[in-house]
């Protein structure tokens, strides 16, 4: 068994066991009822693995059904677990106050049938809200005033999508929503900073064409994220190119003698195909005078060797945790979780919350976004 599968079953299985034990205690479930529930929980536990297996063997319809059912359960289970854990944390100080009195009664109530059913109902409500939140893509605007645009280009508008995760679950509807919003913003440049696709890419007719129709007069550019490698990098590259994007794989391009785009592959490539690749600093080189430099990089990490070599880094990957409070854990790995952050040596890092979803088609307190960057040339200061 691979380390990934072992970790998956250990973590996800433990969550199922915890919720089942809480239900058995709170609802006074007998041994027979508990045993009857176990096969259903086993199926739900294995749903993500079953989805992958069905998809790999060409059973796309069945895979999509299992994926929707299994991932909705995953989101509901996340909320139910968090609510029960919060209740357990509240019970600790209450129980420490003694075995009698109001505190002991409150601790017993939190562990009782009514509380558990309330938590389950609240988890359903939170899941429903999270589905709605995930469907409402907002526009986040970033304004940058710079003296590094030539007089011939007084302004430049860049639209960024990231972590769209098109594939088995998110398909034409999501792609169509993105296309409408981006087209409405009339960007000069349209960029994707990784994880454009997710999982198998069979029978995705029309998906690439929807994105291809988005107008961007100065071009469309993309970099690879980790999920392009998980989906199969060759097929992901083919899809990205059919969607109208030019891939920047550890390389840079100058557009209209006004802006330089540099793009780097995700480090996941080292585990799959690409072992030899230039460093990010080497890709950026020396920042040329008079050219605004944008670095497209999937993960929001800052390379000290790249300090001072770019003006703007556009990243994603974190989803802002996607489901609060999971973002508190995500922040441990990626402290620059979302939003705008100043870069040592000059420049700005914008971390997008992401445009789609991974796993559960839900977002809670982490709404999806399309980023629109307005780069404006600073007015010339006249010296008296």
CB atoms within 10 A of CB 205: 9
CATH topology assigned to domain 138-377: Purple Acid Phosphatase; chain A, domain 2 (3.60.21)
**Backbone φ/ψ region at 328: left (φ over 0), alpha (ψ -120 to 50), beta:** alpha
Contacts of 257 (CB under 8 A, 6+ apart): 150, 152, 291
Which pLDDT band holds residue 151 (cuts at 50, 70, 90)? confident
* pLDDT value at residue 94: 83
Q: Is the pLDDT of residue 82 over 70?
A: yes
Detail the DSSP E strand segments found in 228-363. 246-247, 251-255, 259-263, 292-296, 312-315, 339-342, 348-351
- Kindly report the length of the chain: 384
Helix/strand/coil for 322:
coil
The average confidence (pLDDT) of the chain is 91
Which pLDDT band holds residue 142 (cuts at 50, 70, 90)? very high
H helices of the chain, in order, are 3-27, 31-56, 60-96, 101-110, 113-135, 172-185, 207-212, 226-231, 233-242, 269-272, 280-284, 326-333
Q: Is the pLDDT of residue 64 over 90?
A: no
Q: Is the pLDDT of residue 215 over 60?
A: yes
Q: Is the pLDDT of residue 86 over 70?
A: yes
Q: Is the pLDDT of residue 226 over 70?
A: yes
Q: In Å, what is the CA distance from 252 to each residue of 193, 280, 307, 318?
A: 14, 11, 17, 24
Q: Residue 134 is encoded by which pair of tokens?
A: 């995930």
Helix/strand/coil for 174:
helix
Distance CA 331, CA 320 (A): 8
For 262-294, what is each residue's pLDDT tens digit? Answer: 999 999 887 776 567 788 999 998 776 678 999
Distance CA 22, CA 83 (A): 11
Q: Residue 259 is encoded by which pair of tokens?
A: 């802006």
Q: Is the pLDDT of residue 356 over 80?
A: yes
Is residue 67 within 8 A of residue 83, CB to CB? The reply is: no
Residue percentage of the chain with pLDDT more than 90: 70
Which pLDDT band holds residue 73 (cuts at 50, 70, 90)? very high
* pLDDT value at residue 179: 96
Is residue 224 within 8 A of residue 194, CB to CB? The reply is: yes
For 291-345, what is each residue's pLDDT tens digit? Answer: 899 999 999 999 999 998 999 999 999 999 999 999 999 999 999 999 999 999 8
Domain parsing of the chain, residue ranges:
3-133, 138-377
- Partners of 254 in beta bridges: 260
Contacts of 132 (CB under 8 A, 6+ apart): none
């Amino acid at each position: 068994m691979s380390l990934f599968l072992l970790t998956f079953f250990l973590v996800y299985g433990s969550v199922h066991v915890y919720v089942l034990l809480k239900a058995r205690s709170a609802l006074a479930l007998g041994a027979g009822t508990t045993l009857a529930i176990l096969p259903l929980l086993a199926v739900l536990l294995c749903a993500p693995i079953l989805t992958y297996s069905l998809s790999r063997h060409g059973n796309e319809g069945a895979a999509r059904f299992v994926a929707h059912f299994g991932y909705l359960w995953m989101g509901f289970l996340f909320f139910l677990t968090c609510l029960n854990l919060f209740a357990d944390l509240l019970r600790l100080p209450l129980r420490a106050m003694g075995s009698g009195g109001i505190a002991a009664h409150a601790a017993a109530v939190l562990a009782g049938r009514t509380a558990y059913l309330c938590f389950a109902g609240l988890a359903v409500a939170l899941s429903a809200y999270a589905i709605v939140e995930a469907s409402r893509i907002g526009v986040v605007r970033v304004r940058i005033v710079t003296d590094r645009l030539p007089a011939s280009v007084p302004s430049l508008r860049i639209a960024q999508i990231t972590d769209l995760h098109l594939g088995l679950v998110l398909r034409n509807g999501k792609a169509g929503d993105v296309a409408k919003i981006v087209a409405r913003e009339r960007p000069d440049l349209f960029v994707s900073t990784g994880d454009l696709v997710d999982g198998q890419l069979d029978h995705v007719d029309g998906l690439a064409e929807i994105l291809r129709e988005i107008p961007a007069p100065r071009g469309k550019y993309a970099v690879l994220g980790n999920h392009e490698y998980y989906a199969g990098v060759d097929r992901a590259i083919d899809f990205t190119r059919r969607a109208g994007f030019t891939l920047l794989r550890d390389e840079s391009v100058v557009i209209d003698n006004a802006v330089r785009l540099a793009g780097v592959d995700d480090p996941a490539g080292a585990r799959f195909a690409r072992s030899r690749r230039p460093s990010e600093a080497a890709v950026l080189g020396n920042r040329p005078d008079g050219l605004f430099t944008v670095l497209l990089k999937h993960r929001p990490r800052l390379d000290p060797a790249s300090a001072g070599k770019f003006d703007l880094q556009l990243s994603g990957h974190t989803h802002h945790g996607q489901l609060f409070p999971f973002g508190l854990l995500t922040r441990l790995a990626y402290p620059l979780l979302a939003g705008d952050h100043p870069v040592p040596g000059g420049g700005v890092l914008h971390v997008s919350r992401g445009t789609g979803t991974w796993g559960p088609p839900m977002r809670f307190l982490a709404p999806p976004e399309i980023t629109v960057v307005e780069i404006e040339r600073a007015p010339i200061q006249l010296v008296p």
